[in-house]
Structure 1
Amino acid sequence: MPLVQQFAYICDFIGLRYKGDIIGEGVKPDDILKNEAAKKPINLEKNKKQKEEISNN
Structure 2
Amino acid sequence: MVKSKEVLLKMEIKIDIPQDIMLDRKRLKSIQQGILKVISKGPYEEGLAFNIVRATFVDII
Same fold, TM exceeding 0.5? Answer: no
TM-score norm. by structure 2 comes to 0.36
Which structure has more helix as a fraction of its residues? 1
TM-score normalised by L of structure 1: 0.38
